[in-house]
Every structure is written in C-alpha cells, then in structure tokens.
Copies of this chain bind each other. A is one copy, B any other.
C-alpha cells in the first residue's frame, strides 16, 4: 500500500503497519508523547481519501473527526491513502525548540574563562614509512610519533588493533586519530586513514522525563549547528519516573524503556544529520545529562532501588561508555560521557544546570531551580551546595494538559486578558501569522495569572462561569477558551488548572523548605536562577503572582531555559568545566524532602493562588487589593 502526502511525497506502507510507523520508516517523524499507544493525541493526521481503520478516537473532537482527523499511531490503511500532516504533529527540528539562551552558548562558554578543549580531539600523523633499518611495528611507530609530539600516555583499546595495519597504509602512512583524555591518559577512540581533522561534531543530549533535546555542535569552533527535541517516548509507560521504574521493575521492561529513549535520541540525531549533511563518521562524542532515573534507563542500569527507601541508585558517577555498547547510532567506538548524579532524585541534569548557572563559582547565595517533570532546587555558593527535589509534575512541559505542548512553533507562550473587556490577547512562538496549536509553560503561567487577576478563576483555581463567556462546559467539565481555533479550540480545562496549581505549590514548597533546612530566609537569596522548558521568556511577575516563585524583587530572578543541555554543551567543549561538573557533583549534599513535614505543610498551603498565607506575597496582595 502507498500513502501519498498532500505535499506530493509518496511513501510505502507495509501491510499491518500504522500510518505512524509507515511515516517513521520513510523518515518522517511525528510527535508522539505516548509512544504510539493512542492516548496522547499528538500524532494527528488528516485522512483526505482512501480506506483506513482508526482504532482510537480519543483526544479528537467531534469537529476534528468530521474533518478526517485521525491518530496516525492507531490508523491502519487497507488501501492507498492521501493524507495531510498538520504542522503541530511534526516532530520539531531545525532549531525551533526554544531552549532559553541557546544563541548565547558560545558567549557563556567564553564567560567561564575555560579554554575551549573539546571532550575529544583529533590528531593527524604523517608517519615515516618503515625501512629495514627502522622496522618497528605499526603500533610502536604510531606511539613514537605521538610521544614525539608531546603526548605522555596513550591507551589503545584492543578493538583498534585488527584494523590498524590496513588503515595506517591506506593513505600513504597519513592517519587521523581521535582521542579522549580519560584516567590521566589519552585513549584512542578512532583511527582513520588520511587527513580527517575536520569536520567533527559533538552531540549534547538532555534526557528529560518528558522531553529529549539534542544539540549538534561543531567541535572546531563551538557553534551550535542545530537543535531537535521530542517527547521522551518512555511517556507511554508512565508520565513520571516512579511509574517508569515500576514498569521496569515489576514488568521486567527495562529493555523497552531503554530502547524507547535510545530511539528518540537516534531519530533526532538522524533528522539533524540529514538536514545538515553531517556524516555519521564526523560525530566524535556525546555528552548526556539527565536525572538519575533517566540516566539509569538510558544506560540500561536497573533503577529498582531508586524508588524505595533508602533510595539507592546503581551509581551516581558512571564509567565512560561507548556508542556501540549503548545502542546509539554512531561509530560504535565513540565515547559517551554521562553527567554524574548526586542522589536518586538530584541527577546529572541538575549538576549540568548548576554548571550552566555557575552558582558554584559565586560568593553570593544563589538558588538554582530546574522545573521539569520533577522540580529540583540547589542552594549555595562557592563554599557549599545543598540540593533537594520536589515533585512538580510535567505540566509546564505540556504533558497532562489537554492543549499543552512544549515551547515550539505554534505554542501560545504569552496570554493577556483585558481587564475591562476580558478579551484575550495571545503571543505565539513562530513566524508572524503562525497559527497557535497549543499552549506551553509560560503561556499557562500567564493565563492562570491573568484569569486570577480578572476573576475568571478564584483562589482555588475554580472557573467562574458567570464572569466570561469564554468559560464553557467542556467534555471534562468547565473549560476556558484561550484561543478559538479553526482546527479546534485551545482551552484550559479545570483539571488542567488544578494540575498547574499543584505544580506551582510543589515548587514553592521546595523553595521554602530548603531555605529553612539550611537556616536562611528568602531575603538572604541574592539570585534565583530558573531553568525549565517554559518558553523563550518566563514572565517572573506572573510566576510570582500565581505563587510559584517567592515574592522577591524581579531583578533577583533570571530565567535560563534548558540548562541541562546547556551544561552538556559546556562539558562537550571544555575539559576544565567537565572537571568542575564532577567537583560540583561531589560536593553537593542532598536533602530528602519526601519525608519532610515542613515540605508537606508548605505544599498544602500553596494549593491556593497565590498562597494560603497571602502575607508572604506582599506585592501580589497589593495588586489584588487594586
């Protein structure tokens, strides 16, 4: 069977394959946060003509069904089809993912003062051909040349020996070596014949519980070539780390979880490489940051003991591994550096974030918070660092929110509600005229704050039907229409609002608990660095207004975007910063909030907007009184 796209492209569809699978085989990747279970509703296509059976209609409105919408993962052609792929269903690539200060990466690297020295290097050697008077072996010849160039120690893993004689002779005794500095020695990771010093690339990966982000970096100059991201397709096994650990443990499905995230990374990298004509051969290394559970699942390590008291990971620091032993589609011998973790619930993504925020280098007391699927907080300075985790949930990344989406093209990232007319004004990520297809984290915060200020929701987050005609009865109870779209309205329903309120309560409780634990108050904190996938901008005032952030002067806050991948970028390009990351992981202490009464009390107090104790939000109180 054949599927024709409205763009004219034709692809084959093997019998029994879903439209999603057929598209994937043809190299067309759709968003699919549930991994093809038919539950997330993200892989919508429009069947224009042809016979197909759709096994799930969940997440599709009556209007959409009338217009031929179907979920690609649950649609099985029984003949040739003509389909249209809506923009919002395409897996995002080509730098369109908003990762905060992605453009300033190089400036950030330079600002650290660390010299650019990528994780892996390449050396070109022109060896003197052997003669009867200079008849040392190939390996000795290679070593002699490297030592003459000042290399003090060389480790040659056995796997490079079988090909050595041929490679070394192929281009007239000119060879290119790739090396990595590890355990006080240079280790060979590739041997190529001839001059292959450039091009060479590195890959920085952030494995979030909800989102996977891949950066392709030019190692010769530190430039960001491209970014791609997708939902972590482990989501099909559960939204949070706990349900995934349960799945891995009780259903013995570690391998499935592992394969899911590998296929995400491999797919993203394939897309970027293709778009930029980058050979697999030019990719020299990977740096990966993720929370402790994501790191375990990525590496295929048993995460069982992370879940239960006393919460023990297999490891917090990981031996260097290689693409081949992990299942990454690349030269099997290239190294994969994985960020060290601190504890079961403060992982490599946080170490990476602290590296990006540089709080470990400052004298002033700073807080770093990464609001992803969990929510981790680090407080400290150049002397000490303490960390904790609060369960915030993945809603700000779009998961669990009916019209939620990541901060990519088409996401509503800003919402304003006119105080008089209650008319809604929105800001959408993308070129002018981009049609909104969902709402991302910053948009949600804006919307909740504006709805609260205009009385559309009350302090408990309940929608007030009588205030605005945009409030209506939806399929799951009352909902607010943020944007009435042609392809379906973008709404925030009451369960969505409840989710957001719970998330912001957990975050605020995290702040106040860790401060109390280390004996400080909010006023001692000079800087609050916020990481997460909210969007390009996070409106700090709105975030304070809903009670997510403490009521401090606006200038003390800085929104950094995705710091996990930023830190991975830094480690990819600087040996010194890699060493600093390891030092950060070693010195950071961990506070267990899950057994803390302070945390529980703070969380419950935070389930109001902005907070049960309104006096801790003096500026919001002032505004409310207006």
Contacts and interface: CB of A to CB of B under 8 A. Distances in A.
Given A130-B310, A183-B155, A162 B316 contact: no
Contacts of A138: 305, 312-315
Contacts of A309: 132
A322 B192 CA distance: 24
Interface in A126-173: 130-132, 134-140, 155-159, 161-166, 169
Given A162-B299, A304-B165, A309-B132, A314 B137 contact: yes
Interface string A296-318: 00011110110001111111111
A140 B585 CA distance: 13
A592 interface: yes
A388 to B, nearest CB: 14
Interface in A267-322: 299-302, 304-305, 309-322
A180 interface: no
B302 A158 contact: no
Contacts of A322: 158
A458 interface: no
Contacts of A155: 183, 319
A438 B312 CA distance: 66
A25 B313 CA distance: 45
Nearest to A131: B310
A185 interface: yes
A165 B301 CA distance: 8
A325 interface: yes
A505 interface: no
A130 B312 contact: yes
A162 B300 contact: yes
A592 B165 CA distance: 22
A313 B156 CA distance: 16
A415 interface: no
A190 interface: no
Interface in A575-598: 592, 595
A343 interface: yes
A20 B137 CA distance: 40
A158 B309 CA distance: 26
A261 to B, nearest CB: 15
A137 B312 contact: yes
A617 to B, nearest CB: 34
Given A130-B312, A183-B185, A317 B139 contact: yes
A165 B319 contact: no
Contact of A305 (B140, B165, B305): B165
Contact of A314 (B139, B318, B320, B321): B139
A315 B137 contact: yes
Interface string A496-539: 00000000000000000000000000000000000000000000
Nearest to A133: B310
A325 B324 CA distance: 13
B137 A302 contact: no
A599 to B, nearest CB: 16
Contacts of A325: 158-159
Contacts of A315: 137-140, 161, 164
Contacts of A166: 302
A592 to B, nearest CB: 7
Contacts of A319: 155-158, 161
Contact of A162 (B169, B302, B310): B302
Interface in A590-623: 592, 595
Interface string A325-364: 1000000000000000001100000000000000000000
Nearest to A299: B161
Nearest to A140: B316
A319 B140 CA distance: 12
Contacts of A318: 158, 161
A321 B304 CA distance: 33
A305 B139 CA distance: 13
B183 A301 contact: no
A197 B547 CA distance: 59
Interface string A103-142: 0000000000000000000000000001110111111100
A314 to B, nearest CB: 4
Contacts of A134: 310
B135 A343 contact: yes
Contacts of A314: 137-139, 161, 164-165
A202 B139 CA distance: 28
A345 to B, nearest CB: 11
9 contacts: A138-B312, A138-B313, A138-B314, A139-B315, A158-B319, A161-B315, A165-B305, A165-B314, A166-B302
Given A135-B344, A136-B316, A140-B316, 15 more contacts: A135-B343, A137-B313, A137-B314, A138-B305, A138-B313, A155-B183, A158-B319, A158-B321, A161-B319, A164-B314, A164-B315, A165-B301, A165-B305, A166-B302, A183-B183
Closest 7 CB pairs of A and B: A139-B315, A158-B321, A165-B302, A132-B310, A135-B310, A158-B319, A165-B314
